[in-house]
Structure 1
Amino acid sequence: MGFEDILEKVGTVGRFHAIHIVLLAIPLAMLSTHNLLQNFVAAVPDHRCRVRLGGADSRYINVTEEPLREEFLRVFLPMDQEGRPDKCRMYSSPQWHLLGTNETQGIGSQPDTQECTDGWVYDHSQFAMTIVTEWDLVCNRKSLRHMAQSLYMAGILVGSVILGRLSDRYGRRTVLLSSHLLQAVSGTCGAFSSSFPLYCFWRVLSGMAVSGIILNTVCLGIEWIPMTFRIRAATFCNYFYTLGQLILPGIAYGIQDGRLVFLVLSVPFYVFFLYSWWFPESARWLMMNNKADVALKQLKRVARINGKKEEAEEITAAFLKSNMEAELKSSKGTYNALDLFKTPTVRRITFCTMSIWFSTSFSYYGLAVDLQGFGVNIYLIQLIFGAIDIPAKLVGVCTMSYVGRRFTQSASLILAGLVILINIFVPKDLQILSMTLTVIGKGSLAASFACCYLYVSEMYPTVIRWRLGKAPKADVIPEPGAQIPLVEQRP
């Protein structure tokens, strides 16, 4: 008997599991909004150089500040090919001879231009305030806008390393609680940032919190849900992530203020922090950390919620230790992440899973994070991008259940790669075709994400999957999903 059999005694799928999965899934909706927050909080509205008048210029124009009437713009700002004011340049001196005409400077007589000297004027019809308009992240400072998102993703990377290790050491529930609180605090502080560097600092912490929440949500889900129910539980959680993508454009459209959007999407994590105290710690983690009495207490609590109190009476600490003897024995010994590359089988799995995560994440966020580049209404395209996940993940669940994880993982990545490559050669005037291919690619990557969270967790033996800090050195590992690794002890 192993831990899966012990879970059977406290109720395979009951009231506890339903509440457990729902409470774990709800924060995922808010996580997806934070992952895609860049599209709205850092949106770039239409803009041009600010023109200030005074002195001799006042003889010609009866205004001294913005707004400046459209017919006067060509006096101070060069026009682009579409007849709109240049976004980043202005004339070094006013070109009064252009006043009241539709002329532009000829190719051979272009006057000197310079960078905007008095800031920019922004079109606030679509976005009342973004970090771009607040800190002028345009023209020669536009790279800073992308740097903010890069730092957020760097925070996710750092968080996965640090909080993953802390989760192994201090428990899933403890780190999940801390991550919810960190996300709430960093989001609140980020909404009230007084400078761009401070905003970036809070975004890094927010990214770390996202890693902590995702990692420990997956761990608590896998370690309390029986294997036969995991696909349905994972699907349920994935659809909450999709729900967040659908509500994000509605919130952003209704508020249209970057700071307020940031705040509204962060405040719910205070609620998540409070109700996360209800979660029981992983009984498997407790057993592997020599806390059999606490594990027994948690198992009995779960049995009571599931209406299996009598069945759980026969479970004792000694019973747990005797029936998990093989797993407890396999957890002895120490090794580090380098051991994932020392044996041929584990090394092959490690390289494959790393490739899956990189290709899926890189392509998914490459499509989903810069929606303004598609040239259509940003709220509409976000809604479409979120809606495509619904059928895509449903197809993924069906193929995972009836065909297999490997087929689902490879097919979704191949399809995504093909449509993205084809889209490169689609002419710009065929916008509908280009958008259709992009949406198909994004849906395929969503299915890949849904699969890899489950598939990768089942590829490694139990002792590696949930406790990287302690494990025996092994030359042979079991088939994916096996609970106890076959090990060959070395002297």
Structure 2
Amino acid sequence: MFIFSNLYEYIWGTAQGKDKPQDLILQITGSFGKYQLWLFVLLCLTKITIAFHQLAIIFLAPPTQFFCVSTQTLNGCPCDDPIYDTRIFPRTIITEFNLICKKKWLTSFSQLAFQAGTLVGSMFFGMVADKFGRRMPLIGACILQFVCAFGSAFLPTFELFTLFRFGIGISVGGTMVISFVILMEFIGPAHREILSALYQAPFNVGCIVLPWVAYYYRDFKNLQIALSTPTLLCLIYFYSLPETPRWLIAKHKTERAIIILQHVAKVNGRPVENVRAMVEVHQLAASRQKVNQGTTADLFRTPNLRKRILAMAFNWLTCSYCFYGVSQYVGQLSGDIFINVTSSSAVVLCGTLLSIPMMKMMGRKTILLTCHFICSTCLFILAFAEGVLSVFCATVGVVTSFIVFVVVYLMCGELFPTVVRNCAVGLSSMSARIGSMVAPFVLDLKDIHPSLTAITFAVIPLIAFFVTLLLPETKGCELTATLEEGEKAFTTSTKK
């Protein structure tokens, strides 16, 4: 819950539920300028590496055929003397650690460990970033990511490999959260719709690039080394990434904040003469104000807020469950694994960009209902489809679930009052991580029946469709501040 401390109040406006035209930082630096654009490009590095590690399991443990010498059967179990098909992938974690038959579930466990690490990392680095600033924890997370990703290529046992995957997950959780916090603390709320989508685009680019890195480095050890190397580029953050003035001012480190604000204002072509005076006046006024924050428990005390947080958390769980699960499933479909993953990721990028005009023209709830319905329908068809149709249906499932991810991030901030907005987003984010941890094990259901995996993926967005009916439309809403306002908002009695 600490992850979004002070962030969402900034993005979503003042306690009165409106945007902040008089926000100190925006008055000095402007809502969006050359400096913020440069910062956005700089932070894209972390999103690309996040994609590499989130979906690396597709190529670390691709579908692997084996011939059992003792029983003279193809893919027969039990088997103590397998001969693996290494024509496409000469070495994978499956062939390296013999993850077949009774050990087959360990492949999914490795991905679960990674996703669990992401949950731990987002919480841990969120707390660290609130206490020690944004810059150094982000750099620390990048260093941890490189060490664990590079080191995992040289480990002799599956247990150590999984432990390092957990470490990579921790680093990914940290870079994911802190990079977004830094970006949002420099940018005004007027850009919230477009940035909630564009923030995901570098991740999509990383998903497109990943298959071709795996194409050239088909040995999983070489692939791990290749995927770890781009993280070294993040070391330029030592020299080019500033601490956020918003955090510095909140921690009364006024002098450092003034220096950074003057630099940003200068780059953006804004006046710098009155920066010091404006910051000092703000600090004086802030010292006289007392801000009362709610708790996670407050989300469950009243019926409307309770209904909304449960429905919103399920939406987050659904989109994460479907996106990560079906993305891995694409890698197991018939056809060229590299082409399948590339085409699916390219369409997801188009879907991300499409979500921008969709959010401008359509209501949030309408988008969620439409995407859940399409996703569920395509995944049900996927259960019985073959060839190109199966890839098409899986790709549509991935795209629609990712669009849901973009929209729920925005909608969650609009739905809850200021005093519990951080808690609502933090709880929803935890639900998303749970979905991503469960998803790898659903893939193993195909061993029971070939259609069972797709059907299981299809059921959850269908349920989410009906759950979403419980949510109100939030597009163009006035943001609420108190628990009382949040409970009464969107009800019949408050509509004009």
TM-score by length of 1: 0.77
Give the aligned partner of residue 300 of structure 2.
Answer: 341
- Asked if 1:329 corresponds to 2:348, the answer is no
The structural deviation recorded for 1:42 is: 1.3
User: Residue 468 and residue 436 in structure 1: after superposition, are their counterparts in 2 closer, same or farther (change >3 A)?
Assistant: closer
Alignment equivalent of 2:366, drawn from 391, 407, 432 = 407
Alignment equivalent of 2:60, drawn from 41, 49, 52 = 41
Distance across 2 between alignment mates of 1:22 and 1:167: 21
Alignment equivalent of 2:75, drawn from 68, 82, 87 = 87
Alignment equivalent of 2:318, drawn from 331, 343, 359 = 359
Distance across 1 between alignment mates of 2:35 and 2:387: 49
The structural deviation recorded for 1:33 is: 1.5
- Asked if 1:129 corresponds to 2:129, the answer is no
Alignment equivalent of 1:433, drawn from 381, 389, 413 = 389
Gap runs ≥5 in structure 2: 1-19, 426-473, 486-496
- Asked if 1:232 corresponds to 2:232, the answer is no
On the 8 A contact 1:168/1:468 being kept in 2, the answer is no
Give the aligned partner of residue 27 of structure 2.
Answer: 8
Give the aligned partner of residue 103 of structure 2.
Answer: 141
- Per-residue CA deviations over 1:437-480 (Å, capped at 9, x if unaligned) read 221111111211222333334444455445899xxxxxxxx998
Give the aligned partner of residue 216 of structure 1.
Answer: 178
- Asked if 1:20 corresponds to 2:39, the answer is yes
The structural deviation recorded for 1:401 is: 1.9
Distance across 2 between alignment mates of 1:438 and 1:162: 34
Distance across 1 between alignment mates of 2:482 and 2:252: 22
Deviating beyond 6 angstroms after TM superposition, the runs of 4 or more aligned structure 1 residues are 478-484
Alignment equivalent of 2:349, drawn from 390, 397, 420 = 390
- Asked if 1:116 corresponds to 2:75, the answer is no
- Per-residue CA deviations over 1:219-246 (Å, capped at 9, x if unaligned) read 2222211122233333333221111111
Give the aligned partner of residue 207 of structure 2.
Answer: 245
User: Residue 122 and residue 393 in structure 1: after superposition, are their counterparts in 2 closer, same or farther (change >3 A)?
Assistant: same
- Asked if 1:156 corresponds to 2:112, the answer is no
Give the aligned partner of residue 272 of structure 2.
Answer: 310
Alignment equivalent of 1:447, drawn from 403, 406, 415 = 403
Give the aligned partner of residue 57 of structure 1.
Answer: none
- Asked if 1:485 corresponds to 2:481, the answer is yes
Higher RCO (C-alpha under 8 Å, 6+ residues apart): 2
Q: Per residue, is there more helix in 1 or in 2?
A: 2
- Secondary structure of the equivalent of 1:48? strand
Moved more, 232-241 or 316-325: 316-325
Give the aligned partner of residue 299 of structure 1.
Answer: 261
Distance across 2 between alignment mates of 1:38 and 1:265: 12
The structural deviation recorded for 1:305 is: 2.4
On the 8 A contact 1:172/1:281 being kept in 2, the answer is yes
The structural deviation recorded for 1:217 is: 1.8
Cα-Cα RMSD: 3.0
Distance across 1 between alignment mates of 2:321 and 2:350: 22
On the 8 A contact 1:160/1:215 being kept in 2, the answer is yes
The structural deviation recorded for 1:371 is: 3.2
Give the aligned partner of residue 174 of structure 1.
Answer: 136
The structural deviation recorded for 1:120 is: 1.9
The structural deviation recorded for 1:145 is: 1.2
**Percent identity over paired residues:** 25
User: Residue 3 and residue 354 in structure 1: after superposition, are their counterparts in 2 closer, same or farther (change >3 A)?
Assistant: farther
Distance across 2 between alignment mates of 1:487 and 1:116: 60
- Asked if 1:183 corresponds to 2:171, the answer is no
- Per-residue CA deviations over 1:184-208 (Å, capped at 9, x if unaligned) read 1111111211211000001111111
The structural deviation recorded for 1:17 is: 0.5
Alignment equivalent of 2:49, drawn from 23, 26, 30 = 30
On the 8 A contact 1:155/1:205 being kept in 2, the answer is yes
Give the aligned partner of residue 82 of structure 1.
Answer: none
Give the aligned partner of residue 104 of structure 1.
Answer: none
User: Residue 452 and residue 177 in structure 1: after superposition, are their counterparts in 2 closer, same or farther (change >3 A)?
Assistant: farther
Give the aligned partner of residue 168 of structure 2.
Answer: 206
**Paired residues, number:** 418
Letter matched to residue 268 of structure 1? P
Gap runs ≥5 in structure 1: 51-75, 79-84, 90-114, 470-477
Moved more, 433-442 or 193-202: 433-442
Give the aligned partner of residue 265 of structure 1.
Answer: 227
Distance across 2 between alignment mates of 1:311 and 1:418: 59
The structural deviation recorded for 1:382 is: 0.5
The structural deviation recorded for 1:283 is: 2.8
